[in-house]
């Protein structure tokens, strides 16, 4: 069955889904988005994702032309129309059609786009055996220049880091902030296991406060683990007992090597494996 894409209340075949070349989402990356996962036909933490979308839009002075409840219904309908139980949803809101100038006041008709499909971000072998990461020279955007809490359509910072990582032979890469501290990976948040507790960079380090990150913190606390959000350096990564990444598409995935340094035993550790299992159970509740 051909994929059906939602645009402003209407479903179009994938080949017929179009927006104007004058849309500022295309011309300038001016817009916001969310990536969501569905399990058994239900979207995981839909409310949290939508609240973050509206907060991102508010921060860039973009008026989403729908209330949150109808938008939630549209997300669920997109899954139903495409007959997807376990899948991925990309929800995009663009600034709309405008002039070739930067002024958003010259735009109109923000476009609400929902794409429901299936996604495999990492091959299954990496969940079993773990990822290898490299730290890239591309620095995470300065949080005082553009808040990392805004999930905007301009992902060039992350894309350049992704390119650099792949050129080094890694499918995911670690990014540092302007202070040289650990921030996040190109598409995922990072956690370290040290002395039986979890360490993860704070929001002030220039990270996106991921929905899956929040869920894993909650699961860790429920299991009796201490979770600390503190500034981290590469040294902290190198001496960690375990390391893993979290993200909507990635879920929870172990890391076994960073910059040619083996992490822990070089195999996914027991706390990581336990949190993977707990997260899978959470998504199926």
Residues marked as catalytic:
151
Q: Is the dihedral of CA 12, 16, 21, 26 positive or negative?
A: positive
For CA atoms 262, 267, 270, 276, give the dihedral sign: positive
Give the integer Cα–Cα distance in Å for 267 and 285.
29
Q: Copy the structure tokens of residue 126.
A: 């990496």
DSSP assignment of 28-76 = H--EEEEEEEEETTEETTHHHHHHHHHHHHHHTT---SS-HHHHHHHHH
Q: Give every CB contact of residue 264 below 8 A, 6+ residues apart in sequence.
A: 193, 240, 241, 242, 243, 256
Cα 142 from Cα 31, distance rounded (Å): 19
């Amino acid at each position: 069955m051909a994929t059906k894409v939602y645009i402003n209340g209407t479903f179009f075949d994938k080949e017929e889904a179009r927006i104007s070349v004058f849309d500022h989402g295309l011309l300038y990356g001016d817009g916001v988005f969310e990536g969501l996962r569905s399990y058994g036909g239900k979207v995981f933490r839909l409310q949290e994702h939508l609240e973050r979308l509206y907060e991102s839009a508010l921060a860039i002075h973009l008026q989403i032309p729908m209330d949150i409840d109808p938008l939630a219904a549209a997300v669920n309908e997109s899954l139903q129309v495409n007959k997807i139980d376990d899948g991925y949803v990309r929800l995009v809101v663009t600034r709309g059609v405008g002039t070739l100038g930067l002024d958003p006041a010259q735009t109109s008709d923000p476009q609400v786009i929902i794409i429901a499909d299936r996604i495999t971000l990492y091959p299954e072998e990496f969940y079993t055996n773990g990822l290898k990461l490299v730290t890239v020279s591309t620095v995470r955007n300065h949080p005082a220049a553009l808040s990392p809490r805004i999930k905007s359509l301009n992902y060039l910072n992350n894309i350049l880091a992704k390119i650099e990582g792949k050129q080094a032979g890694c499918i995911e890469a670690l990014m540092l902030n302007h202070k040289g501290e650990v921030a996040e990976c190109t598409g995922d948040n990072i956690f370290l296991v040290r002395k039986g507790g979890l360490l993860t960079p704070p929001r002030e380090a220039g990270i996106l406060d991921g929905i899956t990150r929040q869920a894993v913190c909650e699961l860790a606390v429920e299991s009796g683990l201490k979770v600390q959000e503190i500034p981290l350096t590469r040294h902290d990564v190198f001496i960690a007992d375990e390391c893993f990444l979290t993200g909507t598409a990635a879920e929870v995935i172990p890391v076994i090597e960073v910059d040619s340094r083996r992490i822990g035993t070089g195999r996914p550790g027991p706390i990581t494996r336990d949190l993977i299992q707990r997260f899978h159970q959470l998504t199926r509740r």
